[in-house]
């Protein structure tokens, strides 16, 4: 549930009024995936006071954790990681946040659903305030912490240690990143898979096999589908995506007769 201290909620209600946000259009039409009674919308204006208050509360409590590490004298020997499991909830359940300029949100394979912040503080190793734009994935979390701890991984894994990026002493080599989202969700997203290679990203819809191709360097909002103009690239990326499905034994929805309630 979306809940926050009343005084903080009031603070952001007053801020929205002060900024002149009240009365402005908050939502736009979203891609309609299946028939619904009410047309699906997406939030385009950040003015949800409760959500903003929750973010401030979280920030304050992360600060409490960091202060406690200092108090215990272990801050310099502790790696702190902060990340999200998905993009902001922008298309359902109250639509509390906007991910613009990214498209979509939680439950989608558009960037709004899969691109999140990944913050790591490694005292004496990471440079405070530095930013690295190389795409990484949650599967890299495990090998990174194992290497930092000085341990060894003795079995095959999919992730890559990010230590070279964190220390600024190197880079990582990866051909592609993959996503598999084989189900319907209350966020309105479609069953789909995705592959990213460099600046290029391909999304494959599982319902009808349609594919979409975007150049994220030029089109971070995924508004211009280049699939028809780049058939060779589509074929290559789709083949790699399908090979990955096989490698990980990906499961898919199977068609069934329409449900007929009694």
Q: Coil, helix or strand for 252?
A: coil
Tell me the residue range of the domain where 200 lies. Answer: 6-247
In a domain, 261, yes or no: no
Taking only the tens place, the pLDDT of each residue in 117-131 is 899 999 999 999 999
Residue 123 lies in a domain: yes
The pLDDT value recorded for residue 105 is 86
Q: How many domains does the chain have?
A: 1
Retrieve residue 161's tokens. Answer: 């240690």
The verdict on residue 256 lying in a domain is no
Please state, in angstroms and rounded to a whole number, the distance separating the CA atoms of residues 165 and 191.
33
Q: What is the pLDDT of residue 41?
A: 81
CATH number, residue 23: 3.40.720.10
pLDDT of residue 34: 62
Confidence of residue 17 (pLDDT cuts 50, 70, 90): very high
Q: Is the pLDDT of residue 236 over 80?
A: yes
pLDDT band of 89, cuts 50, 70, 90: confident
Burial of 109 from C-beta contacts in 10 A (0-12 / 13-18 / 19+): buried
Domain presence at residue 93: yes
pLDDT at 261 over 80: no
Average the pLDDT over 76-89 and give the result.
Answer: 90
Nearest to 242 by CA among 254, 229, 252, 255: 252
Rounded Cα–Cα distance for residues 183 and 252 (Å): 8
């Amino acid at each position: 549930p979306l809940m926050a201290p009343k005084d903080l909620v009031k603070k952001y209600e007053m801020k929205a009024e002060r900024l002149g946000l009240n009365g402005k259009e908050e939502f736009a039409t979203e891609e309609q995936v299946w028939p619904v009674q009410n047309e699906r919308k997406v939030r385009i204006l950040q003015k949800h006071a409760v959500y903003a208050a929750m973010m401030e509360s979280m920030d304050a409590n992360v600060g409490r954790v960091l202060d406690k590490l200092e108090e215990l004298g272990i801050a310099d020997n502790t790696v702190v990681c902060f990340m999200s499991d998905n993009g902001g909830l922008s298309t359902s359940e109250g639509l509390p946040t906007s991910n613009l300029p990214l498209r979509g949100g939680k439950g989608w394979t558009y960037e709004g659903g899969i691109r999140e912040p990944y913050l790591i503080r490694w005292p004496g190793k990471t440079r405070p305030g530095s930013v690295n734009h190389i795409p990484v994935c949650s599967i890299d979390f495990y090998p990174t912490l194992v290497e930092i701890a000085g341990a060894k991984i003795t079995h095959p894994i999919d992730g890559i240690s990010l230590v070279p990026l964190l220390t600024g002493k190197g880079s990582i080599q990866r051909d592609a990143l993959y996503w598999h989202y084989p189900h319907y969700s209350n966020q309105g997203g479609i069953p789909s898979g995705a592959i990213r290679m460099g600046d290029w990203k391909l999304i494959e819809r599982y319902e009808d096999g349609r594919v979409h191709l975007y150049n994220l360097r030029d089109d971070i909002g995924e508004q211009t589908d280049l699939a028809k103009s780049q058939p060779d690239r589509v074929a290559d990326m789709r083949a790699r995506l399908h090979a990955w499905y096989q490698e990980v034994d990906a499961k898919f929805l199977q068609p069934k007769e329409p449900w007929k309630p009694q």
